[in-house]
Amino acid sequence: MSKRDYRKRFFRRKFREVSRFLPMTAVIFLSAFIIGGSIYLINDFYSYYLAPAVSSGPETPPEHLFFSDEGADPTEETAEPLTGVDAVIYDADRLAAGYDYDAAIQLLSQSEYAADPKAAEAIAGYEATKSTLVRADISEVTHVFFHTLIMDTSKAFDGDSRQDGYNQMMTTKDEFLRILQSMYERGYVLVRIHDMAHEEIDENGNAVFVEGDIMLPEGKKPFVMSQDDVCYYEYMEGDGFASRLVIGEDGKPTCEMDLEDGTTVTGSYDLIPLLEDFIQEHPDFSYKGARAIIAFTGYNGVMGYRTDAAYEGVNPNLEQDRETVRQLAQCLRDNGWELASHSWGHRNLGAITYEEFVTDTDKWEDQVESLIGPTDIILYPFGAEIGDWHPYTMDNERFAYLHEKGFRYFCNVDSRQYWVQLGEDHMRQGRRNLDGYRMYYDLPESGPVKTYLEDLMDVEEVFDRSRPVPVPPMSQSS
C-alpha cells in the first residue's frame, strides 16, 4: 500500500470514528443552544473560531479532515488497524492479488496465527481460488515494447531535427498510462519472459528448454513488456525526457529529470516508476511480482550514466557512476525487473560482419554486463534478426556465439499478436512496438483501417493529440 493510500484509508477510518459520535454531538449542541441561549452561543462562537486552537490529544481529527478525501465512501471496505492476524492476512492478500496463492498460504500457515480461524478462512479462500486457475498457453503470450517515454511533449515536438524520430518511436506518458489502463481493463497480466519458458537439466544431464506454468484465473491474459534504450542518450537532453534512473527513498527505482533552470527533480518520469505506481494501485496487473524487461546499449550511457571505457578521462565521476549502475541493476532485479542486452553499439546484428558482431558482443560483456550482472535476454536493435523463422541451431554462428555468452531469450520485432518459438535450447519472441508510428497508422483517419492494436486498446482513445501529424512513415522500429 502506498503512503498516499495509507493516508487515505487512515482518514477514512478517522471519518468513521468521528461519524459514530456525530449524533451524540448534535444532541449536546442542540441542548447547549436551548439551555445556554444566544449570548452563550455568541461567546462560544468567538472562543471556538477565533481563539488559538488547543489540542485535546492525539485523537483530535485534523481540521481539514472532512475535506481531505472528497468522495470517500465511509461504507467502503477499508483496512482495519494492521495488527496481529489481520496484518498477516493483509500481506497474504497482497500476494494472492498477484496470483501467488502458494506464497499467501505459506505466509499464513507458517505465521504464529496459523491456528486463528480468520487465517484458516483466508487459506481456504486462497485454496478455492487456486483450484480454479487455468494454465496459460505460452504460444499466446503477446509482448509489447516502448522506448523512453516523452514527459514533455512541447519539448519533444519543438520542431527540431529529432522531432520526427521521437514522433515515430516514442510513446508519451499519457499514452502509456492509457495503454496500461486499457490492458488492465481487458484482463492483461504482466508476466516475466522467464515465466514463459526456462532452462532445465534433464535426467541425462542435458540442458533443455521447457514451458513454464503460468497459472491465472479464467479470462486473464498474460503478456510481457519491455523497454529499449534505457540509456538516456546525450542527444535527448532538453527534449522532455527523464535524465537518469536513481534509487528512490523507498528503495525502489525511480527517475531524475534535469530541468532547464538547472534544477533536478525526482519522480515518476519514465516507464519504470510509472509502471511501479500502477502496480502498487493494481497488484493484480502483475503475476508474482513481475515487472518489465529493461534493455540497454553501452556506448552512450547506461540508465543515464556515462560508464563506457570511452568516457575514461572524460567523465570525472566515472567510477562513482559505475558503482551507481551496479546498485541500480541490483535494485531493479530485487524489484522484479529483468535486464537485457540491446547490443553494445545499437548495431544491426544480422547485417554487420561476423567480426563486428563478435566485437560488439564482447564489448557488451566487458562494458555493460560487468556492471549490471549476467543477462540471458537480448532484444535486437531495429528488431533485426540473426536468422530466419526456423528455430536457431548451432549452425548459425551468431546464435552459437550469443548462446555461449549465456543468451537464451531472443526477441525481434513483429507486428503480429503472437510470435513465440520454443527451441531446444532457447526461446524466441516477437515484440510489438506501441509507439507513435504504430498508433498513428492504426487510426481510422490515417488511411486504410488497420487493426494491429485492437486486442490491446482503442487507439483513438489512446493516441496523444499533442503529436504533430501525420507521423512520418518509416520501415522499421528500433
**Residues of span 391-450 touching Zn ion by CB under 5 A:** none
Cβ distance to Zn ion smaller for residue 100 or 228: 228
**Half-sphere exposure at residue 227, Cβ-oriented, CA atoms within 13 angstroms:** 21
Cβ distance to Zn ion smaller for residue 229 or 435: 229
Q: Which stretch binds Zn ion (CB under 5 A): 14-22, 127-135, 377-385, 440-448?
A: 377-385
Binding to Zn ion by CB under 5 A, coded x per residue (else -) over 72-91, reads: --------------------
Report the residue closest to Zn ion, judged by CB: 478
Whole-number Å distance between alpha carbons of 137 and 103: 23
Are residues 463 and 443 in contact, defined by beta-carbon separation less than 8 angstroms? yes
Cβ distance to Zn ion smaller for residue 111 or 343: 343
Q: Should residue 360 be labelled a site residue for Zn ion when binding is judged by CB under 5 A? A: no
Cβ distance to Zn ion smaller for residue 105 or 170: 170
Whole-number Å distance between alpha carbons of 229 and 241: 13
Q: Should residue 228 be labelled a site residue for Zn ion when binding is judged by CB under 5 A? A: yes
39: number of Cβ within 10 Å: 8
Q: Should residue 324 be labelled a site residue for Zn ion when binding is judged by CB under 5 A? A: no
Q: Should residue 369 be labelled a site residue for Zn ion when binding is judged by CB under 5 A? A: no
Are residues 225 and 293 in contact, defined by beta-carbon separation less than 8 angstroms? yes
Are residues 69 and 8 in contact, defined by beta-carbon separation less than 8 angstroms? yes
**Phi, psi dihedrals of residue 215, rounded to the nearest 5°:** -105, 115
Strand partners, 126: none
- Can you list the positions of beta strands (E) in 269-414? 293-296, 338-341, 377-379, 409-413
Cα dist from 31 to 24, 34, 42, 110, whole Å: 11, 5, 15, 55
Q: How far is the CB of 156 from Zn ion (least distance, A)?
A: 17
Q: How far is the CB of 389 from Zn ion (least distance, A)?
A: 22
Number of residues binding to Zn ion, judged by CB under 5 A: 4
Whole-number Å distance between alpha carbons of 1 and 250: 12
Are residues 288 and 276 in contact, defined by beta-carbon separation less than 8 angstroms? no
Q: Which stretch binds Zn ion (CB under 5 A): 54-62, 248-256, 376-384, 404-412?
A: 376-384
Q: How far is the CB of 383 from Zn ion (least distance, A)?
A: 9
Cβ distance to Zn ion smaller for residue 212 or 381: 381
**Residues of span 96-115 touching Zn ion by CB under 5 A:** none
Closest C-alpha to 272, from 226, 324, 321:
226
Q: Which stretch binds Zn ion (CB under 5 A): 167-175, 271-279, 327-335, 375-383?
A: 375-383
Closest C-alpha to 376, from 419, 334, 427:
427
Q: How far is the CB of 346 from Zn ion (least distance, A)?
A: 6
**Dihedral, 238, 244, 249, 251 alpha carbons, nearest 10:** 150
Q: How far is the CB of 410 from Zn ion (least distance, A)?
A: 15
Cβ distance to Zn ion smaller for residue 286 or 433: 433
Q: Should residue 478 be labelled a site residue for Zn ion when binding is judged by CB under 5 A? A: yes
158: number of Cβ within 10 Å: 14
Q: How far is the CB of 102 from Zn ion (least distance, A)?
A: 37
Q: Which stretch binds Zn ion (CB under 5 A): 159-167, 221-229, 276-284, 405-413?
A: 221-229
Cβ distance to Zn ion smaller for residue 220 or 347: 347
Cβ distance to Zn ion smaller for residue 122 or 294: 294
Q: Which stretch binds Zn ion (CB under 5 A): 59-67, 229-237, 262-270, 403-411?
A: 229-237
One of 100, 229, 270, 369 touching Zn ion (CB under 5 A):
229
Cα dist from 165 to 55, 161, 304, 341, 478, whole Å: 59, 8, 20, 22, 10
Q: How far is the CB of 5 from Zn ion (least distance, A)?
A: 36
Whole-number Å distance between alpha carbons of 209 and 385: 21
Cβ distance to Zn ion smaller for residue 100 or 385: 385
Residues in contact with Zn ion by the rule CB under 5 A: 228-229, 381, 478
